[in-house]
Structure 1
């Protein structure tokens, strides 16, 4: 699967909102509390991400198939991990948030391929520490994360209802890519 990555534009907003809304419905159908009851990404959040040039889209041929916010810096919630990130971690890192794919394509492996594309892009830009989280019940996303060589580092709690998340790290410079 040959996915390309580019910055999202305001022209992508309707498609991105549709992907998010589909993801919200899909998670609800699976009984996942993640992104439910108004706590998922919305048009204003996506617009802000686009304006800040931190929202990226995945393109398969000429079709927008995925999105993710790539946020550089220290995520305040990640500083309160019940566990530990790798001791050789740099002070600043790239967090992957608002990860979603177009579920209408029904392509097996699209989520794994999209996260792999993001990881290759980020490391090519010089980022060596990538972090991502998902709800403990979101087994599908956990499989996508682990398939891309991220290591489980612990649990965090976002200050929202059902805010518990498992957090993972991909540290480029550590051969064993494990958390201690």
Structure 2
């Protein structure tokens, strides 16, 4: 029997993954624009230097499988520990002030279903308290977050941009 697809698993990305990660971000930007959300990432976000910094700092996590002997990246995200400066000020309220991790720059490749769900589940299983934000026009991500038990906490303002800065913030704390 020829097994063509292996089980999914997570691993930390390396600089060797950079080109594939960039391709996935380009696909994600195109999908967002096609679904009524052209400004969240525009045509250049995440910037190349941010992606490289995520890789150098060991923040990028990949969901992968293998098809016919070739690894495929199904999704990727930056997992950031510590206090996120963007989340210090919120129009609303976080669920708590406990330690948390933040997911940023989550992008699915489109190669498999439920990849974003699997990424959220992995972060919750490993860290228990997860915060994330998304653009008001990103209805797909809002749906994914809400169906995965994340609570809408309020609005935050991005501090690394001058325009289109409002994001809806979410949190789920399992422990």
Q: CA deviation at 1:69?
A: 0.4
Provide the residue aligned with 2:148 in structure 1.
Answer: 148
Provide the residue aligned with 1:50 in structure 2.
Answer: 55
- Rounded to whole Å, the distance in 2 between the matches of 1:15 and 1:148 is 27
Are 1:13 and 1:43, in contact at CA under 8 Å, matched by a contact in 2? no
Q: CA deviation at 1:2?
A: 4.4
Provide the residue aligned with 1:70 in structure 2.
Answer: 79
Provide the residue aligned with 1:166 in structure 2.
Answer: 168
Q: Which runs of 5+ in 1 are unaligned?
A: 174-180
Provide the residue aligned with 1:25 in structure 2.
Answer: 30
- Rounded to whole Å, the distance in 1 between the matches of 2:17 and 2:47 is 14
Are 1:8 and 1:56, in contact at CA under 8 Å, matched by a contact in 2? yes
Are 2:81 and 2:102, in contact at CA under 8 Å, matched by a contact in 1? yes
Q: How many aligned positions are there?
A: 163
Partner SS for 1:154: strand
Superposed, which structure 2 residues align to 1:85-104 within 5 Å? 85-87=94-96, 89-90=97-98, 92-103=99-110
**Aligned residues: CA RMSD:** 1.7
Structure-1-length-normalised TM-score: 0.83
- Rounded to whole Å, the distance in 2 between the matches of 1:57 and 1:171 is 22
